[in-house]
């Protein structure tokens, strides 16, 4: 059998997360710091996901 060797000069390329994803993570951390308001904000976000970004049904919650 042949022994497969890895090329030590080859670099493992790790792609950074998309810029907007990093922004969203930062914003979420900021919102979590607001405690009481964060639960309202996060429930709105859940509703928007469930309603395909239609905010009208979310007003009733």
Q: What is the pLDDT of residues 5-61, one digit of tens each?
A: 555 555 556 665 555 555 556 667 776 677 777 788 889 999 999 999 998 999 875
Is residue 8 included in any domain, yes or no? no
CA distances from 9 to 4, 6, 16 (A): 15, 9, 21
Tally the domains of the chain. Answer: 1
Assign 3-class secondary structure to 9-45.
CCCCCCCCCCHHHHHHHHHHHHHHCCCHHHHHHHHHH
Q: Cα–Cα distance between 54 and 60 in angstroms, integer?
A: 12
In this prediction, residue 22 carries a pLDDT of 55
Is residue 54 included in any domain, yes or no? yes
**Through-space distance between the first and last CA atoms of the chain, rounded to whole angstroms:** 66
Question: Could you tell me the residue range of the domain that residue 47 belongs to?
Answer: 27-60
pTM of the model: 0.42
In this prediction, residue 53 carries a pLDDT of 92
């Amino acid at each position: 059998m042949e022994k497969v060797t890895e090329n030590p000069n080859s670099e493992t390329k790790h792609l950074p997360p998309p810029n907007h994803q990093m922004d969203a993570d930062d914003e979420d951390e900021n919102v979590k710091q607001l405690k009481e308001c964060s639960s309202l904000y996060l429930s709105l976000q859940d509703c928007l996901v469930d309603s395909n970004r239609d905010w009208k049904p979310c007003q009733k919650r």
